[in-house]
Structure 1
């Protein structure tokens, strides 16, 4: 049974620890897998294989964006409705999300296959890299329904406070992927196709574990046939809240395209591979922060719905502090050990090490503040103020960074590409402070009952 009172009575610090640790473990496992994936492909296929995966990652980000569009909004709504003790409405939301996940994934698959070659060419793939990218992405598209459905259903489990179960579901998929990847690449000699097959097979199995809790007899929230029919009010509310995550993820996809093309122009395929590796390494720090972010989501959403604003404020503060500590540790590691890390990916490629080592140091300059940025962006989404999150996401992912990434390399060469990200993060942090400080004051006023 769902412990409804726990989220509004238990110590916020204990809840944040309880809900975040499973998410952090799962997210870290995912980040480590992405790194291992590139190591396996680097050994089994070569640097061009890493370049192909880096370019195909744009498609993965886009699919994840649609997963967030469907799943994050539904999760926030479920948490808020749980705070209002409205289980019936929760089941309607979950049923609609289940149906919408299938519809969106089928549309994405069709569009992906129709425009696969021109899409990858636009993303920066050519020659042998394009050949590898077509194989890898073509197989990944088959798993789109699994990815979106698994993400949505698992995320809603977290929104119910079932973080441990969600973590186990996610870890099953990741562990299987790590097992299948070297098996398919080195034992079955499937090359880059083996890496893609490993991903969709493990995701499919993970989807079974993510959806099964909603069909159990003792499930606190069930998927019922009557709730599978889409309701306009539910879909609009869910998508409007999930839109900020969607915009952030889709804009990340667009930025990845821009970065890949700029890297290709100023540094060739080696620079594209270096950027792909840096992305995976940065994700190693981002993922624990996302874990804290997901852990605090049910606490903020539930207590906001229950009008316990002191707990909302405390949750926000604690999550920002925890995320900032992690991001600061990441900064130290990247500054001190960037060369050692890059040797793992290309010990036989001196060019990769020469380009990647300084790039990593520059790219990670803003890492200490990224925890605050991520938590702040999501906070507004969790309390139903999606507009703020969307605007901030657009500023960070498009409005500021795009012109910087285009203009700075003309004066600084390839280093201009790397420095555009930290400059953007510092600007967004200032804007975030301007928005978050009044929000904390507003919560304090609400606590006194004068608003």
Structure 2
């Protein structure tokens, strides 16, 4: 059975398992090496270096956002085009996306290098933290294209039905990063510069691995030179679909900026270091959920394109159940061993361990609902309904979190910062539930109308995407 037939006919449970398990393993490995990196930085350099990486985090999120904008948007279109049995159109999408994955991060790198210190100061760097943050981020930016290619194009591999290869890419980058981080920090004593060099070296090797897959004849979707020239209708479709996860990341960057400023005002560098540790642990919580959603995305997108709506519903249902289970397991671990988890990052600093442990328990108080929200937001990405996906994605991090972050600390001080996340999670849960209930109730009805209109007037590809976007 070829990949297209598997997506169309294979058991949903087995299909979701085969697609999601490699993505979850890859994401777990990816998040684990980020945690290990932060442990190396904390134990090998100190809490001031953790604060520096926390300041740098919003900038790294922007780079990730660019990769996600193109990578996720293109992945959804590739899955839909393959489901519609239009492989040539899928290849046009992949070629255009590859071009943008190179040009956009290069542009942001130039901007950052011209205004390094003002940007870092705006992101919360104190006088003590600034030199560390500058050394770290300047090196990261110089390797931004490598990270963009490896992350963005790895999504294409998953979209064409080869999740194991996508998993190998993530494992390769993670192993290289961990080994080089230890070597550069503890053996060569290169400090925070060594951590940054390890990261971009791992990204370079991952990028070479991904490109070799597409240029050695192993891929179903081919990268052809003629498709590298940007075409505005294709780019518009990619960015429209990829805007929701892109907006999440940009909102996350703005959120982190405001969070850093608030932390510095109410808690100083110690609070900044505490949040840096919490964010590292958060990657272990959320990355498996993102892996699950990535595994579900091509299944939902393909069957939506093939108008097999019962399979779409079943995929969503199973993914939500599994995602909730993953989030609940993470919640139990955090509440069972909070001090031990924080202690991994601290070099015997009792004050940091105490503050971070309490903050983490409050921050993740209602984290079990995260699986439902992430999977449902990904559903709207997968079917090309960018506006609904954007609203759901932004609801927690931007529309709710930031206003709460600006208000609650005025009454509760630093405690108000920690309470912002659970309150935002509860409010966004109700919004997500309303959106997905309406969607499931009407799934397939309006899409059928759009298909009839499409056949009647022979819409162009971009117009067809706009029609799909209107069928909400």
Q: TM-score range, shorter-chain basis?
A: over 0.9
1:363 Cα deviation after fit: 0.5
Question: CA contact under 8 A between 2:157 and 2:219: conserved in structure 1?
Answer: no
1:250-269 matched pairs, under 5 angstroms: 250-269=250-269
Partner-residue secondary structure (3-state), 1:95: helix
Question: CA contact under 8 A between 2:160 and 2:220: conserved in structure 1?
Answer: no
Which residue matches 2:241? Answer: 241
1:347-362 matched pairs, under 5 angstroms: 347-362=347-362
1:43 Cα deviation after fit: 1.3
Which residue matches 2:177? Answer: 177
1:101 Cα deviation after fit: 1.0
Q: Show CA shifts across 1:32-69 (max 9, x none).
A: 11111111011111000000011111111110011111
Aligned partners of 2:332, 2:22: CA distance in 1, in Å?
Answer: 25
Aligned partners of 2:79, 2:420: CA distance in 1, in Å?
Answer: 37
1:313 Cα deviation after fit: 0.3
1:421 Cα deviation after fit: 0.9
1:393 Cα deviation after fit: 2.3
Partner-residue secondary structure (3-state), 2:161: coil
1:333-372 matched pairs, under 5 angstroms: 333-372=333-372
Work out whether 1:134 is the aligned partner of 2:134.
yes
Which residue matches 1:69? Answer: 69
Which residue matches 1:294? Answer: 294
1:279 Cα deviation after fit: 0.9
Which residue matches 2:456? Answer: none
1:150-189 matched pairs, under 5 angstroms: 150-189=150-189
Which residue matches 2:386? Answer: 386
Pairwise CA RMSD of aligned residues?
A: 1.6
Partner-residue secondary structure (3-state), 1:399: helix
Aligned partners of 1:391, 1:297: CA distance in 2, in Å?
Answer: 18
Aligned partners of 1:135, 1:182: CA distance in 2, in Å?
Answer: 18
Work out whether 1:48 is the aligned partner of 2:48.
yes
1:445 Cα deviation after fit: 6.0
Aligned partners of 2:339, 2:164: CA distance in 1, in Å?
Answer: 36
1:362 Cα deviation after fit: 0.3
1:268-287 matched pairs, under 5 angstroms: 268-287=268-287
**Structure 2 runs not aligned, ≥5 long:** 453-472
Which residue matches 1:397? Answer: 397
Question: CA contact under 8 A between 2:377 and 2:389: conserved in structure 1?
Answer: yes
1:90 Cα deviation after fit: 1.0
Aligned partners of 1:216, 1:355: CA distance in 2, in Å?
Answer: 51
1:294 Cα deviation after fit: 0.3
Which residue matches 2:11? Answer: 11
Partner-residue secondary structure (3-state), 2:189: coil
Aligned partners of 1:89, 1:443: CA distance in 2, in Å?
Answer: 25
1:228 Cα deviation after fit: 0.8
1:219 Cα deviation after fit: 3.1
> Greater CA deviation, 39-48 or 439-448?
439-448
Q: Show CA shifts across 1:301-352 (max 9, x none).
A: 0000000000000001110110000001111111221111111111411110
* TM-score after normalising by structure 1: 0.97
Aligned partners of 2:63, 2:279: CA distance in 1, in Å?
Answer: 17
Aligned partners of 1:357, 1:119: CA distance in 2, in Å?
Answer: 30
1:414-433 matched pairs, under 5 angstroms: 414-433=414-433
Over 3 Å counting, the alpha-carbon distance change for 1:67 and 1:447 in structure 2 is closer
Over 3 Å counting, the alpha-carbon distance change for 1:218 and 1:36 in structure 2 is closer
Question: CA contact under 8 A between 1:105 and 1:148: conserved in structure 2?
Answer: yes
Aligned partners of 2:326, 2:301: CA distance in 1, in Å?
Answer: 23
Question: CA contact under 8 A between 1:78 and 1:93: conserved in structure 2?
Answer: yes
Aligned partners of 2:290, 2:377: CA distance in 1, in Å?
Answer: 11
Which residue matches 1:438? Answer: 438
1:161 Cα deviation after fit: 1.2
1:251 Cα deviation after fit: 0.5
* Count of paired positions: 450
Aligned partners of 1:357, 1:253: CA distance in 2, in Å?
Answer: 23
Aligned partners of 1:115, 1:309: CA distance in 2, in Å?
Answer: 49
Over 3 Å counting, the alpha-carbon distance change for 1:445 and 1:226 in structure 2 is closer
Question: CA contact under 8 A between 2:299 and 2:315: conserved in structure 1?
Answer: yes
Over 3 Å counting, the alpha-carbon distance change for 1:8 and 1:181 in structure 2 is same
**Structure 1 runs not aligned, ≥5 long:** none
Question: CA contact under 8 A between 1:2 and 1:160: conserved in structure 2?
Answer: no
